[in-house]
Amino acid sequence: MAIAQDKDIIGSVISDEESPSFEIFRFKAKHDKHVAPGTLVAVAVSENSFLVARVSASHEYNPHESSSKVTVRDALDISPDYPGEEISLTIHRLYEAEIIDEVRKGSNGILETIPPQSLVKSSSEVFVPPLEVINAVIGLEVDPHKSLDIGNLAITLAEERDIPVRLKREIIQRHVFIGGTTGSGKSYAARVLAEEIHKHKIPVIFFDTQFEFVPIAQQLGGVVLEPGKGYQVKLSSLTPDEMTELLPTLRNALHVDILTNAFLRLKEKNIPFTNQEFLSQIDDVSQEMGQSPAQQETTRKIVHSRAEYHLKQYDFLGNDFDWISVIKPSSVINIDCKGVNRQRLQLILAATLRELQTLRKENKIEPYVIFIDEAHLFVPQDEESACKQIIREGVRTGRHFGIVFVLITQSPLDIDKKAIRQCNTRFLFAIEPDQLQAIQGVKADATQEMIDKLPKAPVGTCIVSGTYETIKHAIPVRIRKMETPEADAGKAPDIFAKVGG
């Protein structure tokens, strides 16, 4: 198959005890061709088919640098004097590649990917496959109008060329997970993803705890909502437990009973209720639950006044928010929660997600994508949280309703593994060694070498992995620059300039 041009040929398959086999082959690289772990290479196995493999290990063979030769040189104080790799008869580099797919070209010219079944022949030329093959093997989109253009493949070849990574836009329906250490480029990648999703007119919502997405929301013509200042969630969107948690001075069993009863009675009606309606319901229930009329009145007063007092403190609770007129095609919404404490953040997010989910299920709002940064705070691994259930449910069933989650965390160890496993596209950035084990379940077929290389890669480099429906094989990606660079809110301030230093 005349699929490889001379310039694409990077080496030839060698024979040793392990290579070639059905799983791997090793190849000697041409002196001017260097490849990084993760690079995709190919070898023809017949006129119409070839195997695609991923570089997994490398080794340089140089007998002039054996420890005995170096010792002799050091003792005699002489410099090395031997020809370089380009003309050497001994020095060479070997790469090992793991076979991942067999690709056949049908008579109609269409490429078909099948499980690998042919054996590579020693001496076969190894080449960098053309873009169409890479797209087919990884499951990328060819049509730029139907794709999410997130950057380029992060592989270094002698002749550097940019291979665009265009994800199929449908991948978002199976949710996205972005993980990596602080400063590795997660929020930046999330903004690039948001720019792309926005091009396809899907409404984007940022639940923003650090003021990281306000600028991009503004750049994309969106709105910024502040809890307590124009944005409120409904009391009726909370669960009875969440509601009682908000009223810390009502802990007596009778008081809790009254609150829970009043709350559940209103909830049973299945229509939203206001703080005022809840207080009236408390009055009614108190009158049924005390022993004597006098006691009933005393209890009513205590419960009513304390509930009223506490509810007033929560400025984020109140009116029905008009999502229907805010969520339209191409809308961008930032819920700016900077400075809000953790308990309130959880309640605001839980209530927001419930309200949005109900509206979406009733088809009253468009499908939407919600970005949740610091997601380990909201779906923690070993503790309960107000939003854990709703996020778990959202990632499990969201794709049937057009509800998409993008969960971002610097702490994969602390986030609920069930939730991240449901996120079928993953952007894995450099990660702290103690967090490595947490991503085992989501790294797909990314090799250990690819993951080990991430901390040394430039900021903004990640491994994109997935499942058969999203990304068939894990690939290293250099996330592209934002189209709205002014909205890079993650840039650390120059602290020295600030103090005049």
Ligand X SMILES: Nc1ncnc2c1ncn2[C@@H]1O[C@H](COP(=O)(O)OP(=O)(O)OP(=O)(O)O)[C@@H](O)[C@H]1O
Chain residues binding ligand X by CB under 6 A are 180, 182-188, 410, 459-460, 479, 481, 488, 490-491
Q: CB under 5 to 8 A by kind: which of ligand X, Mg ion, none does 232 bind? A: none
Would you say 20 or 185 has its CB closer to ligand X? 185
Which residue lies nearest Mg ion, judged by its C-beta? 187
Amino acid at 217: A
Would you say 301 or 481 has its CB closer to Mg ion? 481
In whole angstroms, how close is the CB of 477 to Mg ion at the nearest point?
A: 18
Would you say 54 or 186 has its CB closer to ligand X? 186
Q: CB under 5 to 8 A by kind: which of ligand X, Mg ion, none does 142 bind? A: none
Q: CB under 5 to 8 A by kind: which of ligand X, Mg ion, none does 135 bind? A: none
Q: What does the alpha-carbon distance between residue 368 and residue 204 come to, in Å, rounded to a whole number?
A: 6
Number of residues that bind Mg ion (CB under 5 A): 1
Three-state SS at 293: helix
Give the neighbor-by-neighbor strand order of the sheet with 223-227.
164-168, 147-153, 475-479, 461-466, 425-428, 176-179, 403-409, 368-372, 204-208, 332-336, 223-227, 230-231
Q: CB under 5 to 8 A by kind: which of Mg ion, ligand X, none does 183 bind? A: ligand X
Q: Which helix (H) or strand (E) holds 244?
A: helix 240-245
Q: CB under 5 to 8 A by kind: which of Mg ion, ligand X, none does 182 bind? A: ligand X
In whole angstroms, how close is the CB of 186 to Mg ion at the nearest point?
A: 5
Would you say 49 or 410 has its CB closer to ligand X? 410
**351, 359 Cβ separation under 8 angstroms:** no
Contact between 465 and Mg ion per CB under 5 A: no
In whole angstroms, how close is the CB of 490 to Mg ion at the nearest point?
A: 5
Residue carrying structure tokens 């669960």: 239
Q: CB under 5 to 8 A by kind: which of Mg ion, ligand X, none does 324 bind? A: none
In whole angstroms, how close is the CB of 170 to ligand X at the nearest point?
A: 23
What DSSP line would sit under 146-198, residue for residue?
Answer: GEEEEEEE----SS----EEEEEGGGGGG-EEEE--TTSSHHHHHHHHHHHHH
Would you say 187 or 422 has its CB closer to Mg ion? 187
* Partners of 153 in beta bridges: 477
Would you say 184 or 465 has its CB closer to ligand X? 184
In whole angstroms, how close is the CB of 55 to ligand X at the nearest point?
A: 23
Contact between 187 and Mg ion per CB under 5 A: yes
In whole angstroms, how close is the CB of 371 to Mg ion at the nearest point?
A: 11
**166, 148 Cβ separation under 8 angstroms:** yes
On the 0-12 / 13-18 / 19+ scale of CB atoms within 10 A, 2 is exposed
Q: Which helix (H) or strand (E) holds 260?
A: helix 253-268
For residue 332, which of 167, 484, 170, 215 has the smallest C-alpha distance?
Answer: 215
In whole angstroms, how close is the CB of 428 to Mg ion at the nearest point?
A: 15
Would you say 185 or 222 has its CB closer to ligand X? 185
Would you say 412 or 460 has its CB closer to ligand X? 460
Amino acid at 36: A
Task: Give strand ranges (E) for 295-378.
Answer: 332-336, 368-372
In whole angstroms, how close is the CB of 178 to ligand X at the nearest point?
A: 8
Would you say 491 or 498 has its CB closer to ligand X? 491
Q: What does the alpha-carbon distance between residue 453 and residue 460 come to, in Å, rounded to a whole number?
A: 13
Q: What does the alpha-carbon distance between residue 52 and residue 431 come to, in Å, rounded to a whole number?
A: 28
Q: CB under 5 to 8 A by kind: which of ligand X, Mg ion, none does 179 bind? A: none
In whole angstroms, how close is the CB of 471 to Mg ion at the nearest point?
A: 22
Q: CB under 5 to 8 A by kind: which of ligand X, Mg ion, none does 188 bind? A: ligand X
Contact between 409 and Mg ion per CB under 5 A: no
Three-state SS at 320: coil
Residues in contact with Mg ion by CB under 5 A are 187
